[in-house]
Amino acid sequence: MKKISLIIAIAFSGISFGQTEEVKEEKKGNFFGGFESNSQWYTNDKNREINHPEDPFRSNSYLNLNYSYGRWTAGIQGESYAPNALQNYNPKYDETNVATYYLNYKSNKLDVTAGYFYEQFGSGLLLRSWEDRSLGINNALRGGKITYTPTDNFMFTALYGRHRSGFDVSGGDVFGFNSDINLFKLLKIESSDLSVGFSYVGRYEETDMINPDFDELTNAYAGRFNFSKGNFYWSTEFNYKSKDGVLYDSNIVDDYTKPGTALLMNFGYSKKGFGLDATFRRLENISFYSEREPEVLAPEKTSIYFNDKLMNFVPSLTKQHHFNLANIYVYQAQSLVYLDPNNGVGKAGEIGGQIDFYYDFAKTTTLGGKYGTKIAVNFSNWNNLKGDYTLFPPDYKTDFFGFGKKYFSDFNIEVTKKLSPKLTSSFAFINQYYNNQYITGASNVTVKTNILAAEFDYKFSNGRAAKLAVEHMWADNDRKNWAALLLEYNFNTKFSMFASDMYNYGYDANANLIDHETDPFDIHFYNVGGAYKKGSTRFALNYGRQRGGLVCAGGVCRFVPPSTGLGFTITTSFN
């Protein structure tokens, strides 16, 4: 413990030193970077029948350092999972090592990187490499990338690399080319705007199969456009992945090969005080990994489970709620083909869409009141692809615009109203439909929920502020009802504390639950904590119970096991 406090003291002194230091005169050389550490001290919890893991103290830390000199920049990221990574992270994140490094040259027209890099083509449905530490995703490509921007209206990118996987790289080679063109700007058409893009992504992986019914190089293409005229906009993209082996029970089998497609359309109309947006998407067999067959990393857990070796980004197009209870039954985009011989479920993708509506009732109108009222409505609905699914031999045939079994829907409305110069309130109603059998396959439970939530923010003087949020969820199945409460108080703009509780009640422990291992009895999920921030640095400490379930960011999810304990987070950036 002494050691820890000493280390913290050193870190503190460094931080305060870094901020008071005067601006260096020479401008050529520049250091920058950041540090993040998330630690957890897991404890036993008798009420929940939870025993802490063998190493009760675990921590994930990331140190990123960069140095730039003129047009050149070099950087390195070290990561430490010591003595062990936080629970249920990819076992390939082990101990301390250099994770990524790069050397970059950037002029006005040319941007060249050797080493690890991040990139996204279009909306990422064929290629996206990114980092999300809370999910344990870092699929940076190790190789080379050149981006050439001859004029403002053209951008071309070519790349080659292998995906980072733990502290190693995956076995598949990735090739990519992307172009983005501002077409109407180029043609000097000014009344409206049209930009177009084209991408190619190749994934090469050798196969042991004799006479496979697919090529070792899988080719994928995408075309897209963005059009806008005045307040109206419209964008569409189509993605195609060439014929490749489809997974059946985590393996590639003979004669089961299919191409994949993704169609994404978006329309909208918006002007000051009004916004309307509609999205349609259809996915079929568009899951894409740099290795065809998943790697087994833990008992019954493969690289797919840990979001490892991902080629693309297929987010679920639903509203990302900030209320806690609305994040219990979370939809995950269905890009994978899955035929389950145990329960007869067959799915090959998803079809559906969502609509958003925003309206601002102006001040001094009837509904706007003295300070104005803002309303946001969202509706999303997702179904399986309609088609014929056969289990033996595995096969499927889909209708392009057919809607199959319903996966999920979410209708929600949120009203934000300022009641006085010091008090702001917001009210939400959320109605969800969640078909677990088809979404995750864990059980045959379908849940319908209604959620009511209210939030109040009150400003005192000198940065003091308080927040109160209350939520209730009525569910007709699974764990039934939940109530939640959150209190937050800011003592000033630097220091804040919070206390929260989520309480699950009203269900029968013998009922058919989605997951029996995550707290199968009535329980309070309490949490208390505080945060201190100064400049770019933030320290946060919390103690409490973590509900077992999915933690999602950007529509990609990670399963977090139930735990109780003390958490400590430091984040800082050097600038």
- State yes or no: residue 493 binds another protein (CB under 8 A): yes
Site string for another protein, 313-342 (x = CB under 8 A): x-xxx-xxxx--------------------
Please answer whether residues 530 and 501 qualify as being in contact, where contact means their C-beta atoms are separated by less than 8 angstroms. Answer: no
DSSP state of 300: T
Among 555, 559, 561, 566, binds another protein (CB under 8 A): 555
Q: How far is the CB of 249 from another protein (least distance, A)?
A: 30
- State yes or no: residue 31 binds another protein (CB under 8 A): yes
- State yes or no: residue 18 binds another protein (CB under 8 A): yes
- State yes or no: residue 359 binds another protein (CB under 8 A): yes
- State yes or no: residue 307 binds another protein (CB under 8 A): no
**Of 304 and 428, which CB lies nearer to another protein in the complex structure?**
428
Could you tell me the CA-to-CA distances from 105 to 29, 118, 204, 520 in Å, in that order? 14, 15, 28, 55
Please answer whether residues 76 and 47 qualify as being in contact, where contact means their C-beta atoms are separated by less than 8 angstroms. Answer: no
Pairing of strands 556-560, 338-339: unpaired
**Of 36 and 216, which CB lies nearer to another protein in the complex structure?**
36
- State yes or no: residue 94 binds another protein (CB under 8 A): no
- State yes or no: residue 461 binds another protein (CB under 8 A): yes
Residues 114-153 that bind another protein (CB under 8 A): 118-120, 123-125, 128, 130-131, 133, 149, 152
Residue/partner pairs of 148-152 with CB below 8 Å, 24 or more apart: 148/109, 148/110, 148/111, 149/108, 149/109, 149/110, 149/111, 150/109, 152/182, 152/185
Terminal alpha carbon distance of the chain:
30
- State yes or no: residue 361 binds another protein (CB under 8 A): no
Sign (positive or negative) of CA dihedral 93, 94, 95, 101: negative
Among 443, 536, 548, 566, binds another protein (CB under 8 A): 536
Q: How far is the CB of 58 from another protein (least distance, A)?
A: 11
Q: What distance in Å separates the CA atoms of residue 110 and residue 290, rounded to the nearest whole number?
A: 28
- State yes or no: residue 234 binds another protein (CB under 8 A): no
> What SS3 string covers 506-533?
CCCCCCCCCCCCCCCCCEEEEEEEEEEE
Residues 48-77 that bind another protein (CB under 8 A): 59, 61, 63-65, 68
Would you mind telling me the total number of residues written for the chain in this entry? 575
Of 418, 502, 416, the closest CA to residue 454 belongs to 416
Stretch that binds another protein, among 112-120, 403-411, 436-444, 515-523 (CB under 8 A): 112-120
**Of 317 and 513, which CB lies nearer to another protein in the complex structure?**
317
- State yes or no: residue 179 binds another protein (CB under 8 A): no
Among 496, 504, 542, 564, binds another protein (CB under 8 A): 496
Q: How far is the CB of 87 from another protein (least distance, A)?
A: 18
Is 539 in a helix, a strand, or coil?
strand
Stretch that binds another protein, among 253-261, 302-310, 401-409, 567-575 (CB under 8 A): 567-575
Q: What distance in Å separates the CA atoms of residue 490 and residue 494, rounded to the nearest whole number?
A: 8
Residues 393-422 that bind another protein (CB under 8 A): none
Q: How far is the CB of 102 from another protein (least distance, A)?
A: 12
